[in-house]
Amino acid sequence: MPEPILTPGDLLARFQALDGFLLQHQALWRPRPFHHLQLPWEVELPELASWLRSRSLEQAEASDNNPFALAAPSPFPDLAHQAQTLSLLGEMPGMHSPPRTHALSVDVPGRKLAQIQAFANHLQFRKRPQHWLDWCSGKGHLGRWLTKADQRLTCLEHDPALIESGSAMSKRLGLDATHVQQDVLADDCNARLQKEHTPVALHACGDLHVRLLQLASRNGCTQLAVAPCCYNRIATLRYQPLSAAAQASALQLSPDDLGLPLSETVTAGARVRRQRNQSMAWRLAFDLLQRQLRGIDEYLPTPSLPSDWFSKPFASFCHDLAELRDVPTPGEQDWPALEAQGWQRLADVRNLELLRNLFRRPLELWLLLDRALYLQEQGYNVKLGTFCDYQLSPRNLLLLAERA
């Protein structure tokens, strides 16, 4: 039986079920294994902890994108079942779009083009759009794909280089399109949104898509579609809930918590994964060293580093990072043994994360439902469903809103 899309009557009930689940199990998903030598929950669940710690890095990677299937000790299977049930969301009904000219796909990277096509094929508005508004449009590939001969297009973007090249593309295709340089977070953006616009946002980050929901509802737009991304890109230290239900919830979210739904690796290739593993293993090894050198048994964040840092010998990496973070200079160390400990910690971290990862989708859906409930409060009829395969983009949730 196909999974249901979430329709207006289901939104609040699902939100509350997710809210209860996330609140009840905060101790399992909040602490990041990367930051702890031992996680607080390991004392309560020693059998599960030692089972996860006995597995290899390869085993962790094989389970990463489907932690639900893992035959781990209790309470893992039960939590996996609940997380999966609460995250069930069907595909938004699609429509058969007429083929588009090949010229629209020139210069669009393959994966992005497939995401745009999928997004476009799942937009069903009762009223035919007259004027599309591509929000944080980049070069405006999505807007151009959607805009037919009798429709208009406005693209809002703040990067001048993207505007220039997007503008040239629209002109070449003879579209009635305007590419406007606009910081969508600035006050003057309010005037850019008019009620005849149908705003669309594909993968606009945290504050950027929230701003769209606020302005579109305030300025009387009757329909819009958003596929959110990067929930953790917010300017505040705590997540500011939008809907009454989320405002009433006891769940307080930090930007770190908001990063949980974004931690999948489905789209990374083997080389990128290898580089990321090395970076993490070396940082975890450095973490052991810095605890010893500072005499403080606490995680010390390290900044993102240029890739040439990871072609240095491991000992130089540690020396340079110690200097960068004002940690006392490491003296003579058993560098091979320390590096090996880093790799062992990486295997532990990645396996322990499998428990935390059960909560990725529930938290993402909680955030999406907060947006949906907010729009419902603003008088919209809201539908939620997926618009593409998880493998094409893990950010595959679509929110469609319409009001009379």
**Contact partners, residue 383, CB within 8 Å, separation at least 6:** 5, 6, 7, 8, 92, 399, 400, 401
In terms of CB distance, is 53 or 158 closer to ligand SAM? 158
Dist CA 192 CA 190 (whole Å): 5
Residue count, binding to ligand SAM (CB under 6 A) = 18
159 binds ligand SAM (CB under 6 A): yes
Dist CA 24 CA 216 (whole Å): 35
Q: What is the DSSP string of 2-53?
A: PPPPB-GGGHHHHHHHHHHHHHHTHHHHSS-GGG-SS-THHHH-HHHHHHHH
In the complex, what is the shortest distance from the CB of residue 268 to ligand SAM, in angstroms, rounded to a whole number?
Answer: 17
Backbone angles phi, psi at 356, to 5 degrees: -60, -35
In the complex, what is the shortest distance from the CB of residue 70 to ligand SAM, in angstroms, rounded to a whole number?
Answer: 31
In the complex, what is the shortest distance from the CB of residue 199 to ligand SAM, in angstroms, rounded to a whole number?
Answer: 12
Q: Which of residues 222-251 bind ligand SAM (CB under 6 A)?
A: 229
In terms of CB distance, is 162 or 397 closer to ligand SAM? 162
In terms of CB distance, is 137 or 357 closer to ligand SAM? 137
Q: Which of residues 119-148 bind ligand SAM (CB under 6 A)?
A: 136-138, 142
Q: Find out whether 192 and 167 touch, Cβ atoms under 8 Å.
A: no
In the complex, what is the shortest distance from the CB of residue 287 to ligand SAM, in angstroms, rounded to a whole number?
Answer: 31
Tracing tokens 């037919």 back to the chain, one arrives at: 148
Residues pairing with 157 in the sheet: 181
169 binds ligand SAM (CB under 6 A): no
CB under 6 A: which stretch of 24-32, 156-164, 329-337, 353-361 binds ligand SAM? 156-164
Residue 158's CB is within 10 A of a number of other CB atoms, namely 16
197 binds ligand SAM (CB under 6 A): no
User: Which residue of 184, 258, 281, 388 would you call a contact of ligand SAM, by CB under 6 A?
Assistant: 184
185 binds ligand SAM (CB under 6 A): yes
In terms of CB distance, is 229 or 358 closer to ligand SAM? 229
User: Which residue of 39, 208, 346, 363 would you call a contact of ligand SAM, by CB under 6 A?
Assistant: 208
Q: Find out whether 285 and 341 touch, Cβ atoms under 8 Å.
A: yes
In terms of CB distance, is 137 or 278 closer to ligand SAM? 137
How, if at all, do strands 197-204 and 177-181 pair? unpaired
The residues binding ligand SAM (CB under 6 A) are 112, 136-138, 142, 157-159, 162, 182-185, 202-204, 208, 229
